[in-house]
Amino acid sequence: MGEKSIRSIANNKKARFNYEITDQYEAGLVLVGSEVKSLRDGAVNLKESYCKVSEKGEIFVHQMHISQYPFSFHSNHDPSRPRKLLLNRREIKKITDMLTLKGCSLIPLSIYIKGSRIKMKVGIGRGKKLHDKRQTLKERDAKLEVSRMNKQKDYS
C-alpha cells in the first residue's frame, strides 16, 4: 500500500522549551470547511493553546487561533473556538489517568496534514523549572557551536 505523505502546518516550539514531554499522541480534529482551508494556508497559532478533558470524557483544544478564511463570507468560523480532538477510548483513559498526576498537562505540539486528513500531535508534559530551561539553552548553544566548528573545518 502507498505511504501517506505528511506536510507540517505549524509547530509549538515553546511547548518543548517549557515542558518535558513524556508521551505523544496523534489525534484528529473536528473542523468546519473554512477552518480546513485556513489551515491549508498555514493561518494557525498554537503558542497559547492547551487541551482540557470535558465532563463527558472528551478532549478539546482551547485557544488555538485559526484565522478566518478571507474568501468565505457567510459561513466563516469563530477563530478561537474550542475544537474537539478525536482519540479512541483507551487513549483518552490513559491521558486522563496521566493528567491526574501533579504538574502534568496536555499540550498541542504540532498540526500537520497526513494524507488528506488534518492531524494534531499532542503531548503529556510536566512543566520545567527555571534551571531545567537554562540547561536546555546550554545544550542548544553547545550543539550550535559544534555545528559551526564542523562547517569551518569543511571550508578549510
Question: What is the model's pLDDT at position 108?
Answer: 92
Q: Using an 8 Å Cβ cutoff, are 113 and 6 in contact?
A: yes
- Residue 37, class by beta-carbon neighbours within 10 Å (0-12 exposed, 13-18 middle, 19+ buried)? middle
Question: What is the model's pLDDT at position 31?
Answer: 87
Q: Locate all alpha helices (DSSP H) within 1-129, ordered by sequence.
A: 13-18, 33-41, 89-99
pLDDT tens digit sequence for 76-134: 777 778 999 999 999 999 988 888 877 788 899 999 989 888 999 999 988 777 777 78
Distance from C-alpha of 8 to C-alpha of 146, rounded to nearest angstrom:
28
Average pLDDT taken over every residue of the chain: 84
- 2: pLDDT confidence band, cut at 50, 70 and 90? low
Q: Using an 8 Å Cβ cutoff, are 65 and 156 in contact?
A: no
Beta bridge partners of 52: 60
Instruction: Give the dihedral sign, CA 104/108/110/112.
Output: positive
Question: What is the model's pLDDT at position 105?
Answer: 86
Distance from C-alpha of 122 to C-alpha of 18, rounded to nearest angstrom:
14
Distance from C-alpha of 35 to C-alpha of 60, rounded to nearest angstrom:
16
User: In the CATH scheme, what is the homologous superfamily, with its name and number, of domain 6-127?
Assistant: Small protein B (2.40.280.10)
Q: Using an 8 Å Cβ cutoff, are 15 and 123 in contact?
A: yes
Task: State the CB neighbour count (10 A cutoff) for residue 146.
Answer: 10
> Is 90 exceeded by the pLDDT of residue 74?
no
